[in-house]
Amino acid sequence: MSPLLAVIRAETFKVLRKRRLYVLAGLYWVLLPVLALIVARVLNTTLASSFANEGGNIDQTLQLFASPIGLARLALTGPAYTSPTLYIVAVTLIAALLIGDERSQNMWKTVLVVQPSRVAVMTGKVIVALGSIAALMAGAAVAGFIFGAIGTTFLPTHFGGNWLELAGLYGLQALQLLAPILLAFLLITLVKSGVLGVVMVLFLPSLIETIYTIINTISQVQPLNRINAVFQAIKLQAVWQELPKYFFTANLYAPGRKPATSWLKELGVGEEFEPLQNLLGNGLPLTHSALVMAGYALIFGVLLYWWFLRRDID
């Protein structure tokens, strides 16, 4: 058997025996659609025959959020808006299991003798991490569909919708999670502590982006201060203003957050309502976000493999 396949089988075996992942999956797959169905039921009971449903407003809203496609879409978008996002929580949990445990349980010395190909070991772990997250997301989509189907029996909803586009968004969101997986693996390997690595994955990108926001705010304050003077002097103000387009978190959740902007349109909220648009998403094109995340994945991946292949196992 090829070393890579052996690692994938072994790590999948390990992941399937970790109970906390089933708890996470249970919450993700059941809680969100059940809550949505309860709210939809209440809305339908109280407002379906009221003036608010003139022109079918309530029915449209229910189709948007509580239909099979609505719930499947909610399972993609909802986790991208929690804080920290459910996606990054899943990434850290799986990274802690696949990489953190090797460190904390002192297992590298066993793993790397049983399977001495370090490239195969690390690649297998990355594939299993990505596969686990993709499975979590696919399960959420299926659960959304099933609960939505149940909802059609007592709500004015149907099975219609652009399923192909939704499948594409799911796929792209799952692929874009490769970058945080590699970041988590890298940080846990670098700091040699599972806990510290996990904490850093959760907060480091947002911390860096918050620091940017603070500096950016100060640099725009008039009159001239030292910070904006520096930026004006080095003529990088334009580049500096463009930076948020390349932020890790802004791009990471772009596919997951995309349906939110569509919802606004369908709910009649125009593009002129900028504060809400900004709140829900930054409108970055998906191609752009995919390229940016591929760049992050490349950088983190190169650093991870470079470090892992040459390090001593102490």
- In the complex with other proteins, which residue's Cβ is closer, 10 or 290? 10
What is the rounded distance in angstroms from the CA atom of residue 39 to the CA atom of residue 43?
6
Q: Does 273 bind other proteins (CB under 8 A)?
A: no
- Give, as one character, the DSSP assignment of residue 80: G
Alpha helices in the chain (DSSP H): 3-16, 19-26, 32-47, 57-66, 68-77, 86-95, 101-104, 108-114, 118-151, 163-176, 178-191, 194-219, 226-233, 237-242, 248-252, 254-266, 274-280, 286-310
Q: Which is nearer to other proteins, 115 or 237 (CB)?
A: 115
Residue 217 binds other proteins (CB under 8 A): no
Residue type, 69: I
Q: Which of 24, 25, 111, 138 binds other proteins (CB under 8 A)?
A: 111
8 Å CB contact between 271 and 277: yes
**Residue 18 is a binding residue for other proteins (CB under 8 A):** yes
Distance CA 85, CA 155 (A): 30
Does residue number 195 form part of the binding site for other proteins (CB under 8 A)?
A: no
Query: Could you tell me the end-to-end alpha-carbon distance of the chain, in angstroms, rounded to an integer?
Result: 29
What does the DSSP assignment read for 182-240?
HHHHHHHHHHT-HHHHHHHHHHHHHHHHHHHHHHHHHHT-SS--HHHHHHHHTT-HHHH
The footprint of other proteins on residues 112-131 (CB under 8 A) is 112-118
Name which position in 42, 107, 229, 234 contacts other proteins (CB under 8 A): 107
Span from 8-16, 163-171, 199-207, 218-226 in contact with other proteins (CB under 8 A):
8-16
If one asks whether residue 313 binds other proteins (CB under 8 A), the answer comes out as yes
Contact indicator for 123, 51 with CB cutoff of 8 Å: no
Q: Is 310 in the site for other proteins (CB under 8 A)?
A: yes
Q: Which CB atom, from 73 or from 118, has the smaller least distance to other proteins?
A: 118
Q: How far is the CB of 121 from other proteins (least distance, A)?
A: 8
Q: Which is nearer to other proteins, 93 or 297 (CB)?
A: 93
**312 binding other proteins? (CB under 8 A):** yes
Is residue 110 close enough to count as binding other proteins by CB under 8 A?
A: yes
Segment 87-106, which members bind other proteins (CB under 8 A)? 101, 105-106
Q: Which of 109, 158, 265, 288 binds other proteins (CB under 8 A)?
A: 109
Q: Is 226 in the site for other proteins (CB under 8 A)?
A: no
Q: Are 174 and 290 in contact (CB under 8 A)?
A: no
Give whichever of 17 and 265 is closer to other proteins, judged by the CB atom: 17
Q: How far apart are CA 173 and CA 195, in angstroms?
A: 26
Select 42 or 114, whichever has its Cβ closest to other proteins: 114
Is 192 a binding residue for other proteins by CB under 8 A? The answer is: no
Per CB under 8 A, does 14 bind other proteins? Answer: yes
Cβ nearer to other proteins, comparing 2 with 210:
2
CB contact at 8 A, 92 and 195: no
Site residues for other proteins per CB under 8 A: 1-3, 5-7, 9-10, 13-14, 17-19, 101, 105-118, 310, 312-314
